[in-house]
Amino acid sequence: MTIVRLGYVAMSMELKNASPSKTMTFTQFQKYDDREAAIRKLERIALENLENTHRLLKNNYFNEVHFYRFSSKLIPLANHEALSGWDFMKPLKEKLAEIGSFVQEHKMRVDFHPDHFVVLNSPKADVLMNSVENLKMHYVLLKGMQLDPMHRCVLHIGGNYKDTKKSLERFLTNWSDVPVAIQEMIMLENDDTSFTLDDTLYLCEKLGLPLIFDYHHHLAHHRNENWQENWDRVVATWTASPFPIKMHISSPKSEDKFRHHSDFVDVDMFFRFLDEVKGTVPQIDCMIEAKQKDKALFTLMKEIRKRGNIEIIDGSTFKLS
């Protein structure tokens, strides 16, 4: 028996006017004659993003969705070098605490997936430094929500730089420059072009990090097609985590655009994975990475309800028998 819990990423297609990723570009910022007025504008945008995040969480609770990925664009220009010294946390503390309280009260699982420019295996010192600064921003947001930052940030390994082995070893070398508190936030995911499941397992086992298995990415990029042979190793990387094992689920847009995410999740593709892992873990949390976000989750649940050997628990959770 395995419980499966579905989640979605950042935006809602169902709840209107609730973007958590409204922004201001640095070009727009520079158009303000009064720097302090521009900063106040940034803070208002950030507060609106957090208010919409809170609305999304409330909507999730109403719809029995317990798993959600925060937007990494909550605070516009938070790490821009021209805004160093800006204490963006000061006006956000109260709202962040409200969000964290809501998450804890309703026992939700939340995390982040920082943007693609967060690259911990970069050969460039400035890229590594900026990546760590970006992760520190995620850390202080989680602390502001009074949530334990452990295993809350999903990362790809980074760039391949035309040499997989050297790029993996550089990740290990650069890891010593990452503060321990940030290290404890990290989970690693196999990607669809550079680093396979086997590559990612190598780092996760070396560093004691949880591995988030992306089934779609694996189908697009692998050396060993039979991922099942490594499933016990994937599960073992979660031994020290306070959370159930997590994976990503999406479907190809088309055969010729296989790596691109579709609007919805192919239920048969999803169950080809689930049929292999049921009974191996008590619970698995599945983050849907589909273009239609929460609508894709609700559509998938409707299709799951039609299948046999399934016990529906609530609006986003079911049991495999």
**What are the DSSP E strand ranges found in the chain?**
2-9, 67-69, 109-111, 153-156, 186-189, 211-214, 245-249, 283-288, 310-314, 317-320
Residue 69 predicted with pLDDT over 90: yes
pLDDT of residue 244: 98
Q: What is the radius of gyration, based on Cα positions, of the chain?
A: 20
pLDDT at 164 over 90: yes
Angle of helix 93-105 versus helix 125-144 axis, rounded to 10:
70
pLDDT above 90: residue 168: yes
pLDDT of amino acid 85? 87
Surface-to-core class of residue 27, CB atoms within 10 Å of its CB (0-12 exposed, 13-18 middle, 19+ buried):
exposed
Average pLDDT over residues 174-184: 98
Write down the pLDDT at residue 308. Answer: 87
Task: State the pLDDT confidence band at 33, using cuts at 50, 70 and 90.
Answer: confident
Query: Is pLDDT above 90 for 225?
Result: no
Task: Give the pLDDT score at 49.
Answer: 98
Structure tokens at 45: 């945008």
Cβ atoms 264, 241 nearer than 8 A: no
CA 8 to chain centroid, in Å, comes to 9
* pLDDT at 281 (0 to 100): 98
Is pTM, for the whole model, over 0.85?
yes
Rounded CA-CA distance 171/161 in Å is 12
**Closest to 152 (Cα-Cα) out of 108, 192, 197, 117:** 108
| 97 token code pair | 């605490």
pLDDT at 123 over 90: yes
Question: pLDDT tier at 71 (50, 70, 90 boundaries)?
Answer: very high
The ranges assigned to domains in the chain are 112-243
- Asked whether the predicted pLDDT for residue 132 surpasses 90, the reply is yes
CATH of span 112-243: 3.20.20.150
